[in-house]
C-alpha cells in the first residue's frame, strides 16, 4: 500500500530532507523501497517497481483460497496436508510440487479452527513482530468484552482473539459474538472467508482487497439490532504511534459514518494493547484514553509473561476510552478496586495521597519524590546534578546533551518544536 513520508535530519540542523519509505517494514532488507520526496522517478524505474510488486504477490487470491479451503475440508484426514515451508494447505494434486518440503499430515478440524497455532509466527521485530496472546489473556479479553455487552469485535492484528471468537461461535448456539479480523498476514485468507478476514495494513489504513474489503469493514461496523461494536488492536510494539493513531482514527471515522444520529461527540469503543511506556504518546493522540493495570502476556515472547516479578513482568497494558470503573480485573490474580481512583489496580499499586492517584505503571510499588513532585520507580533516586530522579548508576553527562534535531537542551528529538507534526 501507500508509503509513509519521513524526514532525514542532521544534528543541529532544523531542516531535513523528506523521503518516502515502506509503511510496514522498517528494515531495508525486508523492503528496499526508498524515494526522496522531490525526486523525479523515470518510467524505467516505475516499470521495474511494478514488475517487482507483481512478482511478490501471493500464489492465490483470497477468493481462490476460500474455494481451496472448501475442497480441503472435504478430503479424508489421511489426505489433508500442510506444507510447513510454504505455509500452505495442500490439495493432493499439489503434493508432487512440494515433495522435498516438510509436511504436517492428518490436519484435523480443530487445527483448521486454530490457524495461529498451525502457522509459524512471523517474529521479525522490524516487520511483523507477530506475538500471540497467551490463553489466559485471550480468555480474559473475551469474557470482559461479553460482560460489557459487545457483540461485534473488530480484531485489528489480534488473530488469536478472532479465532477464539470464531471457534466459540461455531460450538455454542447461545454465543452471539462475531469478529472481523484485519491483519497484514495474508496467510489467514486460507482459513477465513472475505466476511471474516480482510488483508489490511494498520500503518497506512490500506485495504489490499480495495473497495470491496473496505465495504466489508463498513458493513461490519454498522450496529444493527443494537449490537455494540468494539475495536481491539495489538500492533507491533516497534511501530510508529503516529501512523497507528492515524489509521485507528480513520477506522473510528468509518464507524461514525455508519450511523450519523447521536454520534457527534462519541468515539468508537476501543482497546489498544501496547506497552505502558508508550502511555504519553498514546494520550497525545487520544486524550480520552486511560491505561488499565492488567498485564497482557504472550505465548511466544520470552519476556512478556504473566506472573514474573520485578522488572520481568509483562509491560503490556490495555489502553481504552471506556470508563475505567467498567473494566473489572480478576481479583484472583491480585487486582483490587481503588475507590478513590474508581478503577481496578494491581496489588502493588498503592494510592499516593500527594498525587491523589494510584501511580505505579509496572506493577511494583512506586515512591513519591518531593523534589520531582511525582511518584517514581522504587529503584530510582534523586540526582542533584540532573535535577530529576534516575537510576543510582548513571552518567550525569547525558543531562547536557541537547536535542538531536535543533541542538537545544530541555527536550528530546521526538518533542522538538522544529519538527512538523503533520
Beta carbons of 237 and 244 less than 8 angstroms apart:
no
> Nearest to residue 37, comparing CAs of 15, 13, 56?
15
Q: Are residues 280 and 146 in the same domain?
A: yes
Same domain, 174 and 305: yes
Largest CA distance in the chain: 74
In this structure, the answer to whether residues 312 and 167 fall within a common structural domain is yes
Task: Assess whether 276 and 307 both reside in one domain.
Answer: yes
> What distance in Å separates the CA atoms of residue 80 and residue 277, rounded to the nearest whole number?
45
In a domain, 121, yes or no: no
Indicate whether 385 belongs to any domain.
Answer: no
Specify the number of domains making up the chain.
4
Domain span at 277: 135-347
Looking at the structure, tell me whether residues 208 and 246 fall in a common domain: yes
Judge whether 119 lies within some domain.
no
Domain assignment present for 100: yes
Q: Which residues pair with 180 in a beta bridge?
A: 154
Q: For residues 188 and 252, state if they share a domain.
A: yes
| Confidence at residue 411, expressed as pLDDT on a 0 to 100 scale | 65
In a domain, 222, yes or no: yes
Residues of the chain with pLDDT under 70: 12-14, 123-130, 260-265, 300-312, 397-422
Whether residue 355 contacts residue 313, with contact meaning beta carbons closer than 8 Å, is answered with no
Q: Which three cell numbers stand for residue 384?
A: 542533584
Q: How far from 207 is each of 194, 239, 297, CA to CA, in Å? A: 12, 18, 29
Strands 178-183 and 150-156: parallel
Provide the pLDDT for residue 100.
92
Q: Clarify whether residues 92 and 41 are in a common domain.
A: no
| Predicted TM-score (pTM) of this structure | 0.88
Q: How many Å apart are CA 6 and CA 276, to the nearest integer? A: 25
Tell me the C-alpha distance between 401 and 418, whole Å: 17
Looking at the structure, tell me whether residues 35 and 179 fall in a common domain: no
Q: For residue 44, give the DSSP letter.
A: H
CA-CA distance, 37 to 19, in Å (whole number)?
5
Cell of 114: 486454530
| pLDDT score of 399 | 47
Q: Are residues 22 and 86 in the same domain?
A: no
- Domain-embedded: residue 414: yes
Asked whether residue 250 is assigned to any structural domain, the reply reads yes
Is 387 inside a domain boundary? no
Residues 93 and 183 in one domain: no
What's the burial of 83, exposed, middle or buried (CB within 10 Å: 0-12/13-18/19+)? middle
DSSP state letter for 362:
S
Q: What is the rounded radius of gyration, in angstroms, for the C-alpha atoms of the chain?
A: 24
State whether 258 and 317 are in the same domain: yes
Which pLDDT score, from 0 to 100, does residue 384 have? 86
The CATH number that applies at residue 244 is 3.40.50
Residue 19 and residue 166 in one domain: no
Beta-carbon contacts of 162 under 8 Å, excluding residues fewer than 6 positions away, are: 153, 155, 179, 180, 181, 196
The packing angle between helices 159-171 and 135-147, to 10°, is: 60
Asked if residue 230 lies in contact with residue 150, where contact means CB atoms within 8 angstroms, the answer is yes
Amino acid at each position: 500500500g501507500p508509503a509513509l513520508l519521513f524526514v532525514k535530519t542532521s544534528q543541529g540542523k532544523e531542516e531535513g530532507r523528506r523521503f518516502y519509505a515502506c509503511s510496514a517494514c522498517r528494515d531495508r532488507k525486508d523492503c528496499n523501497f526508498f524515494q526522496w520526496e522531490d525526486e523525479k522517478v523515470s518510467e524505467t524505474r516505475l516499470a521495474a517497481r511494478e514488475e517487482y510488486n507483481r512478482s511478490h504477490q501471493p500464489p492465490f487470491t483470497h477468493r481462490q483460497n476460500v474455494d481451496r479451503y472448501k475442497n480441503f475440508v472435504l478430503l479424508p484426514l489421511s489426505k489433508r496436508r500442510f506444507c510447513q515451508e510454504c505455509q500452505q494447505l495442500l490439495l493432493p494434486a499439489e503434493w508432487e510440487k512440494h515433495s522435498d518440503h516438510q509436511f504436517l499430515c492428518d490436519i484435523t478440524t480443530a487445527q483448521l479452527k486454530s490457524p495461529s497455532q498451525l502457522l509459524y509466527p512471523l517474529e521479525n521485530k522490524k516487520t511483523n513482530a507477530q506475538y500471540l496472546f497467551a490463553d489466559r489473556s485471550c480468555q480474559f479479553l473475551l469474557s470482559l468484552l461479553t460482560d460489557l455487552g459487545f457483540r461485534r469485535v473488530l480484531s485489528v492484528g489480534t488473530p488469536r482473539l478472532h479465532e477464539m471468537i470464531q471457534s466459540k461461535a461455531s460450538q455454542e448456539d447461545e454465543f452471539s459474538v462475531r469478529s472481523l479480523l484485519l491483519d497484514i498476514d495474508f496467510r489467514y485468507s486460507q482459513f477465513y472467508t472475505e466476511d471474516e478476514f480482510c488483508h489490511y495494513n494498520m500503518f497506512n489504513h490500506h485495504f489490499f482487497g480495495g473497495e470491496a474489503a473496505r465495504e466489508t469493514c463498513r458493513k461490519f461496523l454498522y450496529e444493527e439490532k443494537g449490537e455494540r461494536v468494539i475495536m481491539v488492536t495489538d500492533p507491533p510494539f516497534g511501530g510508529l504511534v503516529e501512523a497507528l493513531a492515524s489509521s485507528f482514527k480513520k477506522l473510528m471515522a468509518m464507524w461514525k459514518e455508519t450511523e450519523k444520529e447521536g454520534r457527534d461527540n462519541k468515539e468508537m469503543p476501543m482497546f489498544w494493547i501496547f506497552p505502558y511506556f508508550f502511555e504519553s504518546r498514546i494520550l497525545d493522540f487520544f486524550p480520552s484514553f486511560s491505561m488499565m493495570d492488567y498485564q497482557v502476556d504472550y505465548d511466544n515472547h520470552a519476556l512478556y509473561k504473566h506472573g514474573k516479578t520485578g522488572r520481568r513482568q509483562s509491560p503490556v497494558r490495555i489502553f481504552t476510552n471506556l470508563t475505567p470503573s467498567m473494566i473489572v480485573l480478576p481479583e484472583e490474580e491480585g487486582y483490587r478496586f481503588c475507590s478513590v481512583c474508581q478503577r481496578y489496580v494491581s496489588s502493588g499499586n498503592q494510592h499516593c495521597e500527594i498525587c491523589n492517584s494510584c501511580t505505579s505503571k509496572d506493577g511494583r510499588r512506586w515512591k513519591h519524590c518531593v523534589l520531582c513532585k511525582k511518584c517514581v520507580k522504587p529503584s530510582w533516586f534523586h540526582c542533584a546534578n540532573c535535577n530529576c530522579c534516575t537510576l543510582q548508576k548513571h552518567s550525569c553527562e547525558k543531562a547536557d546533551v541537547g536535542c538531536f534535531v535543533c541542538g537545544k537542551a530541555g527536550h528530546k528529538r521526538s518533542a522538538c518544536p522544529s519538527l512538523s507534526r503533520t
